[in-house]
Amino acid sequence: MNQLDQIKDKLLNRYLLFGAVVGTLIFVTAVLTTFAYVFTVDFYFDIANVTGLYLIYIFKDRIRLRIKAGIIICIIFLLFISDLLQFGINSTDKVFVAVLPFKSILIFDYKKTILLFLLSMLTFGIVGILFYNRILEPSIYNPANYIASTWINTGLVLTASGLMISLFVHSFNEEMYLMINDLERSSKRLKIRDAELEGHLHEKNVMIQEIHHRVKNNLAIVSGLLELQSFSIKDEQLKALLQKSTNRIMSIAKVHQMLYQSDDISKVPLEKYLDELVNVILNTMNDEDRTIIFEHDIDVEYLNLNLGVPIGIIFNELITNSVKYGFTNAKQGVISISFKYSGPDIEVVYKDNGPGIPDFDESKQKGLGFTLVSSLLTQIDADYVYDVEQRFQLTFRFPANAEKLS
């Protein structure tokens, strides 16, 4: 069922219920005011018609639109004829002849409606002739039934009313049909355009994923070359520096790896990224095979590329520092990271259970790691503070809206 038919069906159902209720009220009124009407043929005929209207309404969703409209038109026509034969020109149901075109043209075409209307008016004229010639007699005597001009005038009024209704509803139908066709054509064009844009977006995403994949592979190659170079170096200090550089590169490569593996190429799953980053660092830097537990409490689900890379390098430096220097006297090391929304900001706390750094100011100046961390924290517009008394803890905040930037 198209949109226009759906509108027509709803409208027909509303008029069906209205007609059934009005018919019931008229029937009850006739029973209460006209005793002679009770238990006549017309009485039972009206009961059948009103009951039929209610049954059609009850099963309205199971009956096809045109069949339902045809049955309703037949019931109205029978009511019109029945009352006209009984009361003649005094029939109150003769107005139904003007309702028939409305019901018909709402569902059927203009030609069928005019044909039905002419048939109704022809029936009205034939009944008028029969009354005029006294072949039929009304149940209630009225001399107007025997006056030709009364039938002619009434017929002309009904004809004019029916034709006006037919023309109006026909024009309305045509306008609605054109409007809905325009909407459907526009909808089809939009769907085609959406499909094209979706195709272009898919191609773009595939291309970006391929770029991330190649960047990750290139960084992996660089990392591999540095690792190969470290095998030929005997100086342990230089070897450690190369390993740190390798891990820094791998922390960036991990970001690109997660982006091309993700359904959303603009977001890095933070928790998964940190878990994998910790594993990489523990596998490469935990030479003494200490037991180190990683704990996290993360409310922030994703980071974009602009934050993923600097955050990754920051935590690479912090975790590396904890693994290499933070657990020299501890039987079991614990690294804890939390990401929490705090008002308009995201608050991050990194800490370990190491002894802290007594000469922290000097270490910051001499070591590349802390210099790199400070530079990256400034890059993401973060406020930060260190706590190095009896432990190591870095707390920093950056604007939460920065997490949504692309």
> In this prediction, what percent of the chain has a pLDDT beyond 70?
89
Instruction: Report d(CA 70, CA 106) in Å as an integer.
Output: 11
Distance linking the first and last C-alpha atoms of the chain: 45
Query: CA angle, 303 as apex, 298 and 304 as ends, to 5°?
Result: 180
DSSP for 94-150, please give it.
GGHHHHHHHHHHHHS-HHHHHHHHHHHHHHHHHHHHHHHTTSS--SS--GGGG-HHH
Residues contacting residue 209 through CB under 8 Å, at least 6 positions apart: 259, 260, 265
Q: What is the pLDDT of residues 13-49, one digit of tens each?
A: 888 888 888 888 878 887 887 777 778 777 888 888 8
Mean pLDDT, rounded, for 228-242: 77
Are the C-beta atoms of residues 267 and 303 closer than 8 Å to each other?
yes
| In the predicted structure, residue 349 carries a pLDDT above the cut 90 | yes
Instruction: Quote the CA–CA distance of 406 and 64 in Å, as a whole number.
Output: 54
Report the chain's mean pLDDT, rounded to a whole number: 81
Least confident segment among 352-356, 361-365, 379-383: 361-365
Rounded Cα distance between 106 and 125, Å, is 25
SS3 83: helix
pLDDT mean over 95-123: 82
Torsion 139-143-149-150 (CA) sign: negative
Strands 267-269 and 383-387: unpaired
Summarize the confidence of residues 245-255 as an average pLDDT: 75
pLDDT tier at 404, thresholds 50, 70, 90? very low
User: What is the model's pLDDT at position 260?
Assistant: 58
Torsional sign, CA 233, 235, 240, 242: negative
Q: Which CATH code fits 269-404?
A: 3.30.565.10
DSSP string, 349-365: EEEESS-B-TTHHHHHH
Which residue type sits at 35? F
| 129-138 contact pairs (CB < 8 A, 24+) | 131/88, 131/89, 136/85, 136/88, 138/86, 138/87, 138/88, 138/90
**Region(s) of the chain under CATH 3.30.565.10:** 269-404
pLDDT tops 50 at residue 406 = no
Report yes or no: 321 and 369 within 8 Å, Cβ to Cβ.
Answer: yes
Which helix or strand (DSSP H or E) is residue 318 part of? helix 305-321
Residue 405 has pLDDT above 60, yes or no: no
Instruction: Dump pLDDT digits (tens) for 160-219.
Output: 888 888 888 788 778 877 887 888 888 889 998 888 888 877 676 666 667 666 777 777
Report the distance separating Cα 262 and Cα 271, nearest Å.
14
